[in-house]
Amino acid sequence: MERAKLHFDLARLVARFLNGELTHEEYDKLKAWIEVNDKHRELWNRLTNQEYLESNLEFWRRRDDNQWQNLLKRIRKGEREKRRFVLRNAWPYAAILTALLLIGVVTKYFINGNNSNKANTLALAAKKNAGILPEGGVAQLILGDGRVVNLKGSHGQTIIEKDGTKVQNEKSVLKYFVVPDKQGSAVFNTLKVPRGGEYKVTLADGTNVWLNAATSLKYPTRFDGKERIVFLSGEAYFEVKHDAAHPFKVMIGNTVVRVLGTKFNVSAYKDDTKEMVSLIEGSVEVSRRKEGHKEGVVLKPGYSAIIGENEIAVNNDNENVKTTVAWKDSMFVFKNETLESIMKRLSRWYDVGIVYDDNVDKYIHFTGKVQKYESIDDVLHLIEMTNKVTFDITGREIRVKLNKTVPNEKWVTNGEEE
């Protein structure tokens, strides 16, 4: 109890710090706590990280006003039916899940039993579970007033925004309709796709945007100004409605992609070091916002712009450009791509964590192609077939290990693999 109260006090100090109200004495107190051990420092770093705060505050935007009524009913009747209901109902699910896991393991065992590489794959089968599948059509829509609507592809619904805009959700596509009797100025909406999900949105101007996993797009409910501006974090494929009078701009960090009407892919994950714009059709200008001046390149179809810290590089590998948009067509394609980059993409799509053993070379290159709605086992198996690495799956964590069954082979780190 006393320890809990101490932490209420600490929380007050952290909040005062974020608020810029912390006094010197309070700061000393807070600092003393942070320096006790690494766990404290770690927590402190999280609590003062913008992205962490923003994403976790989603919880506070959920509104469910029935909760109080439920509680009132319960205290008035002193009843606890609901609680028992929830707990009792969890049991059958647990049983089914266990059964599925067992079936998974057993099936794997039999399938792999016929394999020539017996000893190896049997061990592998026992370690793996039923297979991690992506979630697919799920997303969150954050409305202008901060309300959050959970979207499910299978679940049709219509939302009316404050300015009168009608938003329709059907079959993993979100669609904006501008209504003639619009009220007030346009408001910003944000579509957030979690790890393991993907979604498509048709904006008010008819532009189509496919959002990949772990991606968020912010846009107005309608485009009233001279320019059509949207903000992207993550990866998305755009098919922009042609309208020469109203240029379309995608803002990604300090980079602006300016287009008239065209098809292109943008990859701008914050945990990647580079942003990449790949053009399929039409023409785009990629430039950076900097004090006083602008530097930019104009892309032609089949070209990619790779935006690094100090420069924008242009690449004209047409095949590569096609590969970058394969995700939109439910494929997972990697062409001469490093293990690290492949695993990063897998971790977003299957919502898994990746851990490497120290002796694993993350920069081996692989080439391959799989259906992305299949279980993660398929793609991992494909990589394992090259005999370079093996994978251990525990829960939602994947450990990448050196394949020790191949005796001391000299590594080829920059060549293309089978």
123-162 residues in contact with another protein (CB under 8 A) are 129, 145
Long-range contact list for 404-413, CB < 8 A, 24+ apart?
A: 405/120, 411/361, 411/364, 412/364, 413/361, 413/363, 413/364, 413/365
Interacting residue with another protein among 86, 119, 244, 245 (CB under 8 A): 86
From 62-70, 106-114, 151-159, 235-243, span contacting another protein (CB under 8 A) = 62-70
Question: For tokens 């101007």, what's the residue?
Answer: 205
Please, are residues 240 and 262 in contact by the beta-carbon 8 Å criterion?
yes
For the chain, first and last CA: distance in Å?
61
Q: How far is the CB of 201 from another protein (least distance, A)?
A: 19
The nearer residue to another protein, 97 or 385, going by C-beta atoms, is 97
Please, are residues 391 and 384 in contact by the beta-carbon 8 Å criterion?
yes
Interacting residue with another protein among 20, 92, 180, 292 (CB under 8 A): 20
Please, are residues 173 and 156 in contact by the beta-carbon 8 Å criterion?
no
Taken in order 143, 148, 152, 158, is the CA torsion positive or negative?
negative
Report the relative pairing of strands 284-289 and 263-268 from DSSP bridges: unpaired
The nearer residue to another protein, 6 or 406, going by C-beta atoms, is 6
Is residue 356 within the footprint of another protein (CB under 8 A)?
A: no
Is residue 60 within the footprint of another protein (CB under 8 A)?
A: yes
Residues 224-243 within binding reach of another protein (CB under 8 A): 224-227, 229, 231
Q: How far is the CB of 177 from another protein (least distance, A)?
A: 21
Is residue 355 within the footprint of another protein (CB under 8 A)?
A: no
From 69-77, 310-318, 363-371, 401-409, span contacting another protein (CB under 8 A) = 69-77
The nearer residue to another protein, 117 or 150, going by C-beta atoms, is 150
From 94-102, 118-126, 314-322, 376-384, span contacting another protein (CB under 8 A) = 94-102
Taken in order 342, 345, 348, 351, is the CA torsion positive or negative?
negative
Interacting residue with another protein among 23, 28, 35, 70 (CB under 8 A): 70
Total residues binding another protein (CB under 8 A): 72
The helix (run of H) or strand (run of E) holding residue 234 is strand 228-239
Interacting residue with another protein among 7, 118, 171, 300 (CB under 8 A): 7
Helix, coil or strand: residue 151: strand
Binding mask 254-273 for another protein (x = CB under 8 A): x-------------------
Interacting residue with another protein among 28, 32, 35, 57 (CB under 8 A): 57
Cα 264 to Cα 286: distance, rounded to the nearest angstrom? 12
Residues in the chain: 418
Residue of 194, 189, 163 whose CA lies nearest to 174:
189
Is residue 101 within the footprint of another protein (CB under 8 A)?
A: yes
Cα 324 to Cα 332: distance, rounded to the nearest angstrom? 9
Is residue 281 within the footprint of another protein (CB under 8 A)?
A: no
Tokens read off for 130: 């039923």
Tokens read off for 212: 């990949």
Is residue 397 within the footprint of another protein (CB under 8 A)?
A: yes
